[in-house]
Amino acid sequence: MFNGLNYFYRKRKPKYFMNLIITKDMKKISLMLLLLPVSVLLSCGSMNVYVNQESTYSKKNPITINKATDDNSGTLGELQFQLQSNGYKLMSYGAAKKALNLDSKSEKDSTHSELTNSITFNSIYVLDLNYVYYYDSFFFAYRSFSATISDLKTGEIVMTANFRGDKSCRAVIRDLVTKMNEVIK
């Protein structure tokens, strides 16, 4: 049976017409999918760092990181890597306390105590962290992040850093270390 309307429709709208529509839509969708991760990685927020100009802190002074109780975001490992790869001298928190005789328990059989008894430090600095994070679609991100470097011996605050915004944990830590490199020699 001959259907005139069907014949007319096929003549007026060739097969590639539907492919053309799909192709334009696919280009728009793929462009949006490409821009989404870029916009997430370039999220708003900035790191502010202040260093006490009267302090004598430098990269050569030993620093320890006072780790958070919950480190699911990987902050401690990323921060240790970034600091060491940028020339900062890191020390474990337990060894730092023993080196300054701040620990109430004296464990003489410990390898840390043997190490710290052979080295004399004028000051050891601690990096305290405070942050709020969440799991985004593909990574952990901070809503807020603050860091303070203080002298364990005197209690003097040497540096403070503050971030407010929405950015991946790795990007915020890289920003912190980059800003530290600018102001600490």
| φ and ψ at residue 61, rounded to 5 degrees | -75, 140
CATH code assigned at 97: 3.30.160
**Mind listing the pLDDT tens digit for each residue in 99-122?**
776 554 544 444 444 444 444 566
User: Which structural domain range is residue 159 located in?
Assistant: 45-183
Give the pLDDT of residue 152: 80
Does residue 97 share a domain with residue 17?
no
CB 183 within 8 Å of CB 62: no
Q: At residue 7, does pLDDT exceed 60?
A: no
**Mind listing the pLDDT tens digit for each residue in 48-74?**
888 888 888 888 888 988 876 677 788
Q: At residue 75, does pLDDT exceed 80?
A: yes
Does residue 13 share a domain with residue 57?
no
Does residue 35 share a domain with residue 54?
no
Does residue 117 share a domain with residue 30?
no
Chain mean pLDDT for the chain: 75
Q: What's the 3-state SS for the chain?
A: CCCHHHHHHHHHCCCHHHHHHHHHHHHHHHHHHHHHHHHHHCCCEEEEEEECCCCCCCCCCEEEEECCCCCCCCHHHHHHHHHHHCCCEECCHHHHHHHCCCCCCCCCCCHHHHHHHHCCCCCCEEEEEEEEEEECCCCEEEEEEEEEEEECCCCCEEEEEEEEEEEEHHHHHHHHHHHHHHHCC
Per-residue confidence band for 5, with pLDDT thresholds at 50, 70 and 90: low
Does residue 58 share a domain with residue 8?
no
Does residue 9 share a domain with residue 34?
yes
Show the CA angle centred on residue 160, arms to residues 156 and 162, nearest 5°. 160
Give the pLDDT of residue 94: 77
What domain count does the chain have? Answer: 2
Please tell me the pTM assigned to this model.
0.65
**Mind listing the pLDDT tens digit for each residue in 125-171?**
889 998 888 888 888 888 889 999 998 888 899 999 999 888 888 99
Does residue 143 share a domain with residue 69?
yes
